[in-house]
Amino acid sequence: MNVEVAKTRAFCVTRPAIAGDEDVIRQWRASAPALGASQTTVGAEEHRRWFETAREKQRCELYLIEIAGERSGMIRYDFAEPDAAEVSLFLMPPYIGKGYGQAAFRQTAPLIFARRGVRRMFARVRFGNERSLQFFRRLGFREVQRDADVYLLTLDRPTVPHSRPFVGQEEQDAVAAVVASRQLAQGPKVLQLEQRWCELTGMAAAVSVSSGLAALRLSLLALGIGPGDEVIVPGYSCVALLNAVLALGAKPVLADVRADDWTLCVEDVARRLTGRTKAIIAVHLFGAPADLPALAELGVPLIEDCAHGIGGSCGNRPFGGYGTLSMASFYATKMIAAGEGGIVAGNSEKMLERIRRSRDYGDQPPDGRHLNDKMTDLEAAIALAQLKQLPEVLARRAQRAERYGRELQDLAEHGLIVLPKMTPDRIWYRYVVRLLKHRAPDIVDRIAKRGVKAEQPVWDLRGTAYWTAGLEATAFAFDRVISLPLYPDLSELEQRLACEALRVTLSE
């Protein structure tokens, strides 16, 4: 983050206008006509009536901009239409052009969008006022018409998706280079990805495959798992874990998770061990480290699921470097997003060689377990480009998680939600909160009406034949946990809108 921008955000705050602001606002209104679209002045009585209306938030909402504790300007929203607001802004001359106006807009616009049901904002800028014109354009406003000497610019309420792949020019260049090479299928880029993955995880070898599901299935195959065997998986996890076990004719056994951590509960896993248990799959869910050291003490082969990303640590080892085998997914919505693809890593060359043979059916005797599970060089090139940006991606995600923590702290203090734990060893793939007084499906539906896509991040397994008793925390998660938008290019405006939409929804 630019240092100057960071300072701007730190020292610029907005607050609703109060009675003591009336005189200074009148002075500002008197000094501003030459810059405004209407170019009109107002008398004392007219200003008094307008100010009282603004304080009551009937047809207008008015906010003071304070910079380093001093009243330095104002931003107002006039509700000319039921679902639209006109925005205007005034700053004292010393503060113009330094980012304070943008900060004030980003602090207040989400309140207007979420609380007032506004779907569109517009601004009027007088012809020749190039500074104001550029100001609104930088905020995303687009020019729709010019009437006489006034530009009309509009901004639609953002629609904030739950997931958004973080890709740019590096990925485009990487794909173009592969296409130019004509080596589209598995080739040198796949090998480079495997080498890079070993550097990141500390494992001796890695094998790239076609998907995260393929990585799980081939890991189980390498462990010799088949019909009659049992594999313990988290009850609160992706259905792909169960599918990988079932594909080999084995039985998935659900174990409970820890509340507000949502990773495997070691004590419940221990209770579910039998003589047929041949593996445990432990997920660093949402980026929180599973308790792999304790799980390893149970004496069962451990598959470390890093589908939600790498860059964290567990037991003084990097993610992906602890299990008997570890795996990851490169699906389009994952932290490392290559569209599709997956990878398996480990220290047993024998196991990894079995996976290499199993990912490709070619030039081998018929075997129903040998399918087409190869990764392409196109996918590997995208994954490699993403891994080059991993430190930046992790930092951006952490910054947004910290902002959620600050913005939503009041909801936690009022007993409405439980925030995820901020620990130094975790990464931030998802930002999930536990609802204390509401049901997750209801909140997800209602927050969507305000333009924010939250999700219940795990498909509910309670209707399947594999659900069993004793999964209390898992059942609670299905009912009460929601995931808020979190990705590296989630803008401040989008994130504030997500926070305010949640706040308003929970208070209805």
**pLDDT tens-place string over residues 279-304:** 999 999 999 999 999 999 999 999 99
Residue 470 structure tokens: 């004793």
Report the C-alpha gap between 200 and 299 in whole angstroms.
26
Report the C-alpha gap between 253 and 210 in whole angstroms.
25
The SS3 of residue 303 is strand
Q: Which residue has the tokens 């392409």?
A: 376
Strands (E), 162-276: 205-209, 230-234, 251-255
Q: Is 344 within 8 Å of 206 (Cβ atoms)?
A: yes
Higher-pLDDT residue of 434, 186: 434
Percent of all residues in the chain with a pLDDT value above 70, rounded to a whole number: 96
- CATH code of 391-507, in short, is 3.90.1150.10
Report the C-alpha gap between 396 and 410 in whole angstroms.
23
**pLDDT tens-place string over residues 229-263:** 999 999 999 999 999 999 999 999 999 999 999 99
Residues 6 or more apart whose Cβ sits within 8 Å of residue 68: 11
**pLDDT tens-place string over residues 151-190:** 999 999 999 999 999 999 999 999 999 999 998 888 999 9
Neighbour-count burial for 432-450, b at 16+ CB within 10 Å, e otherwise: bbbbeebebeebbebbbeb
Domain positions in the chain: 3-156, 169-388, 391-507
pTM strictly above 0.85: yes
Phi, psi of 468 (to 5 degrees): -145, 175
pLDDT(314) > 60: yes
**pLDDT tens-place string over residues 71-124:** 999 999 999 788 999 999 999 989 998 999 999 999 999 999 999 889 999 999
**Of the residues 334, 374, 388, 437, which is catalytic?**
334
Q: Is 212 within 8 Å of 327 (Cβ atoms)?
A: yes
Closest-CA residue to 210 (of 323, 329, 307, 383) = 329
Q: Which residue has the tokens 């009406």?
A: 449
**What is each CA distance from 477 to 41, 305, 433, 454, in whole angstroms?**
57, 20, 10, 15
Domain 169-388 CATH assignment equals 1.10.599.10: no
Helix (H) or strand (E) holding 264: none
The SS3 of residue 272 is helix
Higher-pLDDT residue of 415, 147: 415
Q: How confident is the model at residue 25 (pLDDT cuts 50, 70, 90)?
A: confident
Domain 3-156 CATH assignment equals 3.40.630.30: yes
Report the C-alpha gap between 207 and 215 in whole angstroms.
9
- Tell me the sheet residues that pair with 70: 67
Residue 55 structure tokens: 């304080």
Higher-pLDDT residue of 362, 14: 14
Q: Which amino acid, 499? A: C
The SS3 of residue 110 is helix
Report the C-alpha gap between 354 and 373 in whole angstroms.
13
CA-based torsion, 15, 124, 56, 20: positive or negative: positive
| Topology alike, domains 3-156 and 169-388 | no
- Residue 365 has a pLDDT of 79
Q: How confident is the model at residue 55 (pLDDT cuts 50, 70, 90)?
A: confident
Q: What is the DSSP letter of 417?
A: E
Q: What is the DSSP letter of 31?
A: H
- 334 is known as an active-site residue: yes
Q: Is 292 within 8 Å of 282 (Cβ atoms)?
A: yes
The pLDDT mean for the chain works out to 92
Phi, psi of 154 (to 5 degrees): -130, 155
Q: How confident is the model at residue 5 (pLDDT cuts 50, 70, 90)?
A: very low
Q: Residue 91 burial (CB < 10 Å; 0-12/13-18/19+)?
A: buried
